[in-house]
Structure 1
Amino acid sequence: MTAKLKRVPEGTTATFERHYKHSVEKVWAYLTDNDLLPEWFSELRVKELRTGGSMVFDMQDGNLIEMRISECKPASVLEYSWGEDKVRFELAAEPEGCRLLLIETIGTLTDHTPKDLAGWHVCLDVIEALLDGVVFQDRKRAWEQQYETYIALVEGYRQS
């Protein structure tokens, strides 16, 4: 499911909605457990999991970027800075499992925005595959396909 873009006072939100057939606790673990994070986002780690704590992004060149956690409610909400922007994960139990919302608040849309959005889209698909015990095939190809979709989405949004 493609993200939905919406104008907000801070700029734009991109909201991804996924429904997983797994418990909130299992999905939360993929977002916060340093043993599971690399399976879907190899550069991301939790340094201190609490409001006011931080996530760490490994630039793969010896540089680590610390991203402040602005809100953390176990098995419910995780929000942290993402460069000049922020990402927020919201989890809610459903009868068949769990709903995940990933909301990225983007101050300024750039030519890089579709790349990031395609990346988040594929990451959420990878999490689903991992939860289901399925091997995700050809992540690069999946990203390339989503990238084309998000180029068109962002361009259409800018023109509206």
Structure 2
Amino acid sequence: MIATIEKAAHGYTARFERHLQQSPEEVWGWLTDNDKLALWFGELRAGELREGGYMSFHMGEDIFERLAITDFKTLSVLEFSWWQDSIRFELSEEANGCQLVLIEKIHAITDHTPKDLAGWHVCLDVIVALAEGRDFGPRQEEWKKWYEEYIKAVEKAK
């Protein structure tokens, strides 16, 4: 399902929701364990997992950008800077698994915004597939499809 994009006091928010059949503890590992992170977002790594700690983004070569963790509650909240924006993962238990919410706080809409949103959309779908033991398959075609949808969604939200 596509993210909801809304105007906020300072910019915009995009909210993605996924329901998983796994426990919050199992899904938390997909967000914080570097071996699992590498399977759905090759450039992102966990550094110091605590409020005030950091995530790390591999920019290429030997260049890593530190992304400050601004909120952290084990098994339920991981929020970190995403350059001028921020990314927040929230996990909550449900009767038959858990809900995974990703909220991107967007400082300003740019031409790159639909690309990022399509990327997060596909990343979440990959997490769901991997958590269920399924192979997601080629991601580029899926990303292209969602990119077109997010171009429309961002224009509608403006």
How does the TM-score come out when normalised to structure 2?
A: 0.98
2:8 corresponds to 1:22: no
RMSD: 0.7
Is contact 2:7-2:157 (8 Å) kept? no
Deviation at 1:62, TM superposition (A): 2.7
1:35 matched residue in structure 2: 35
The aligned counterpart of 2:54 is: 54
Which deviates further from its counterpart, 113-122 or 4-13?
4-13
Q: What is residue 115 of structure 1 aligned with on the other side? A: 115
- C-alpha distance in 2, partners of 1:44/1:100? 18
Give 1:157 shift.
1.5
SS at 1:145 equivalent? helix
Partner residue of 2:75?
75
Q: Deviations over 1:124-157 (max 9, x none)?
A: 0000010010011110100000000001111121
Structure 1 residue 10, shift from structure 2 partner: 2.0
Task: Check if 1:124 corresponds to 2:124.
Answer: yes
Unaligned runs of 5+ in 2: none
Contact 2:80 2:88 in 1 (8 A): yes
How many angstroms apart in 2 are the aligned matches of 1:118 and 1:60? 21
Distance 1:113 1:61 in 2: 25
Does 1:5 pair with 2:8? no
The gaps in structure 1 that reach 5 residues or longer are none
Q: Does 1:136 align with 2:136?
A: yes
- In structure 2, the residue matched to 1:86 is 86
Q: Secondary structure at the match of 2:136?
A: coil
| Identity among equivalent pairs (%) | 53
Deviations 1:95-150 (A, max 9, x none): 01000110000010000000000000000000001001001111010000000000
The CA deviation at 1:33 is 0.5
- Cα displacement (A) at 1:31: 0.2
TM-score, normalising length from structure 1? 0.97
Query: Tell me, what secondary structure is at the counterpart of 2:137?
Result: coil
Q: Distance in 1 between matches of 2:71 and 2:156?
A: 32
Does 1:104 find its partner at 2:107?
A: no
CA shift for structure 1 position 61: 3.3
SS at match of 2:35: coil
